[in-house]
């Protein structure tokens, strides 16, 4: 079994590569050329995976790697994934996160329609939510260029499934986090900030909207759901979520509690971090995934916060140690 992962250098790509290796898959990862390598998350896997160069902006490069590798499964995780950047670079976000999906699907259509395809869709598509909780039938109302691009990616996946009978699925994943989460996302920003404050490396933590609510899960659990979706008899779309919602403020409160501090003494709101349009309240209904895929999350909200804070404490302490030598 051969699998191609786009976005292998990202949080989910690295966990998915580990999972597929455990399943005895031959794992190929698509990487884009950079002047310096960006392989921290996959460093430990380098001798077990194949890295191939291509870019979501370059259709021919995608056709070439799919033709050469001829994978059984393609997981399309590559995207411009940071919501605030999507307001600053809306066109680029559309090109990566929306049109990039068509480029992947079109390559599959041209080369072999038996290749299975997973599209990394997002709860950001629900945006200004039409119902609580959100499920596979909840209408979309995206609130950022990123959310809009993901809606396009979702529907083009559905369309290629219906037009060309491709086994193409869209996983509508709610926020999922880990110690490998990028530092700009709020969870990692908080756990890293709390750890740095505890270690005396930082005084304050500036955040934006503390009232926003998210349904947060553990990334390792969520990549298992991606794999399960491609092992089913029929291609279907699934919501993957914990079913619980918590505010950014609650996340901060718990994270600072893990290091024995009160978040109120350190967290300050910076109005510059408030978004032009906010997604206020996300909470998913994962019943369909639970019933059809036999999937359920294994890590609770407080456990997730603790895992991330403890990993950051360890990471920063070892880094400081290296710097002091
Ligand atoms: P991430 O850490 O930001 O990783 C994004 C990946 O996409 C990186 O490997 C990046 O490569 C790659 N990429 C970006 N532009 C590219 C291009 N033009 N060509 C080739 N590769 C490109 O994201 P993540 O958190 O792992 O999320 C994975 C996917 O799931 C994304 O599509 C995201 O939008 C979606 N999603 C995430 C969540 C979540 O909570 N994490 C929830 C729902 C959906 P570089 O390393 O070269 O930058
Ligand atoms: O923001 C609020 C912010 O950037 C969460 C991506 O993986 O999940 C992610 O998108 C909330 C928002 O994630 C800060 O306003 C407050 O309400 O961690 P985030 P996101 O926008 O939910 C979805 C499912 C994806 O698909 C995306 O790819 O936290 N917030 N203060 C802050 N957010 C950030 N980043 N930084 C702050 O200081």
- The tens digit of pLDDT for each residue in 27-79 reads 999 999 999 999 999 999 999 999 999 999 999 999 999 999 999 999 999 99
Measure the N-to-C terminal CA separation of the chain; round to a whole number of Å.
46
Strands (E), the chain: 2-6, 26-31, 50-53, 73-76, 116-122, 168-173, 176-177, 205-207, 213-214, 217-218, 238-240, 246-247, 267-269
Q: Say whether 222 is catalytic.
A: no
Looking at domain 182-215+244-283+299-320, its CATH class is alpha beta
Per the CB < 8 A criterion, the answer to whether 240 and 133 are in contact is no
- Angle at CA of residue 202, ends 184 and 309, nearest 5°: 60
Active-site residue (options: 61, 122, 123, 170)? 122
- The tens digit of pLDDT for each residue in 143-174 reads 999 999 999 999 999 999 999 999 999 999 99
What is the DSSP secondary-structure string of 81-124? --HHHHHHSHHHHIIIIIIHHHHHHHHHHHH-TTSEEEEEEEGG
Q: Hey, whose CA ends up nearest to atom 13 of ligand 1?
A: 78
So where are the chain's domains? 2-176+218-240, 182-215+244-283+299-320
Q: Say whether 249 is catalytic.
A: no
The atom number, within ligand 1, closest to the CA of 14 reads 26
- Cα separation, 220 vs 171, in Å, equals 15
Ramachandran category for residue 298: left, alpha or beta (phi over 0 → left; psi -120 to 50 → alpha): alpha
Kindly state the average pLDDT of the residues 264-285: 98
The set of protein residues with a Cβ atom below 6 angstroms from ligand 1 is: 6-7, 9-13, 32, 38, 55-57, 77-81, 96, 120, 122, 173, 175-176, 182
pLDDT at 318: 86
Q: How confident is the model at residue 247 (pLDDT cuts 50, 70, 90)?
A: very high
- The tens digit of pLDDT for each residue in 77-97 reads 999 999 999 999 999 999 999
**Site to substitute for ligand 2 among 7, 85, 147, 185, most atoms within 8 A of C-beta:** 185
- Cα separation, 225 vs 168, in Å, equals 15
- Residue 324 clears pLDDT 90, i.e. is over it: no
pLDDT at 320: 58
Q: Hey, whose CA ends up nearest to atom 23 of ligand 2?
A: 175
Kindly state the average pLDDT of the residues 105-114: 98
Per the CB < 8 A criterion, the answer to whether 210 and 158 are in contact is no
Q: Which residue from 77, 78, 73 is spatially nearest to 27, judged by alpha carbons? A: 73
- The tens digit of pLDDT for each residue in 181-199 reads 999 999 999 999 999 999 9
The atom number, within ligand 2, closest to the CA of 282 reads 22
Pairing of β 267-269 and β 73-76:
unpaired
Looking at domain 2-176+218-240, its CATH class is alpha beta
Q: Say whether 141 is catalytic.
A: no
Reported as type and span, the H/E element at residue 309 is helix 301-324
- The tens digit of pLDDT for each residue in 301-321 reads 999 999 999 999 999 988 755
pLDDT at 322: 47
């Amino acid at each position: 079994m051969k699998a191609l992962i786009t976005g292998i250098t990202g949080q989910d790509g690295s966990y998915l590569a580990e999972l597929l290796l455990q399943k005895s898959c031959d794992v190929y990862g698509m990487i884009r050329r950079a002047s310096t390598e960006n392989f921290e998350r996959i460093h430990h896997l380098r001798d077990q995976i194949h890295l191939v160069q291509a870019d979501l902006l370059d259709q021919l490069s995608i056709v070439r790697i799919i033709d050469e590798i001829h994978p059984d499964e393609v997981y399309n995780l590559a995207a411009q994934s940071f919501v605030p950047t999507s307001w600053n670079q809306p066109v680029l976000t559309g090109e990566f996160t929306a049109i990039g999906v068509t480029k992947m699907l079109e390559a599959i259509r041209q080369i072999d329609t038996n290749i299975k395809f997973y599209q990394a869709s997002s709860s950001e598509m629900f945006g200004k939510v039409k119902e609580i909780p959100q499920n596979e039938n909840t209408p979309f109302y995206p609130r950022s260029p990123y959310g809009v691009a993901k809606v396009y990616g979702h529907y083009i996946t559905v369309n290629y499934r219906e037009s060309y009978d491709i086994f193409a699925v869209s996983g509508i994943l709610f926020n999922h986090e880990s110690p490998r989460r990028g530092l700009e996302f709020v969870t990692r920003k908080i756990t890293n900030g709390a750890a740095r404050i505890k270690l005396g490396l930082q005084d304050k933590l500036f955040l934006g909207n503390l009232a926003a609510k998210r349904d947060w899960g553990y990334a390792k659990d969520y990549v298992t759901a991606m794999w399960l979706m491609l092992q089913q008899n029929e291609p279907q779309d699934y919501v993957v979520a914990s079913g619980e919602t918590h505010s950014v403020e609650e996340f901060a409160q718990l994270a600072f509690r893990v290091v024995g501090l009160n978040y109120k003494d350190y967290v300050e709101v910076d109005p510059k971090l408030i978004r032009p349009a906010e997604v206020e309240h996300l909470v998913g209904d994962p019943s369909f995934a639970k019933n059809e895929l036999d999937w359920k999350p294994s890590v609770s909200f407080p456990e997730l916060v603790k895992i991330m804070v403890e990993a950051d404490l360890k990471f920063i302490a070892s880094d400081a140690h290296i710097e002091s030598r």
